[in-house]
Amino acid sequence: MSFPQPQHDHDRCITQALAAAEEECRRRGARLTDIRRRVLELVWRSHAPIGAYALLQALGKAAPPTVYRALDFLLAHGLIHRIEKLNAFVGCAHPGHDQAGQFLLCRQCGRAAELNDAGIEAAVRDAARRDGFEIATLTVEAEGLCPACRGESP
């Protein structure tokens, strides 16, 4: 998921993300229940990370444990990512592919873009290995300004 172009068809983006999630769940023998699907749809509603509290508000009468269980499911099945710095969630642009989380976070508009660069992961793992450190999970979060906030075309 890169930063969206000005002519970005976000409805199509959401539809494709939900279809990919359905396929990934089918492949894993998991079930994308109505609440899980709705939470995933809300996560994909914009390209900005969304927190659990905002999801609870958007869902209205859903109980907090229900939303947290849905988030846990979506994380476990690689359908969303958690942005640690923000304690918020974004949709996974490549469900079903093993990858380290690599994100560009715009500090002005709040949008996020997911990278999938094996070189970044390899560089961090190699540096850790040289120091005798074994990485269990790897997330890279870089803050800055997206092309739109800098007034440039991507």
pLDDT by 10-residue block (mean), the chain, 154 residues: 62 88 93 95 90 92 90 93 92 76 91 88 94 91 92 68
Asked whether residue 126 is marked as a ligand-binding residue, the answer is: no
- Classify 10-91 by CATH class: mainly alpha
Distance CA 39, CA 71 (A): 7
Handedness of CA 60, 107, 149, 152 (dihedral sign): negative
Does 146 count as an annotated binding residue? yes
pLDDT at 5: 60
Cα Rg of the chain, angstroms: 16
Output the pLDDT for position 24: 92
Domain ranges in the chain are 10-91, 101-151
Parallel, antiparallel, or unpaired for β 112-115 and 139-144? unpaired
**92 carries a ligand binding annotation:** no
CATH of domain 101-151: 3.30.1490.190
Q: What are the DSSP calls for 82-95, one per residue?
A: EEGGGTEEEE-SST
149 marked among binding-site residues: yes
The pLDDT assigned to 153 comes to 62
Is residue 98 part of an annotated ligand binding site?
yes
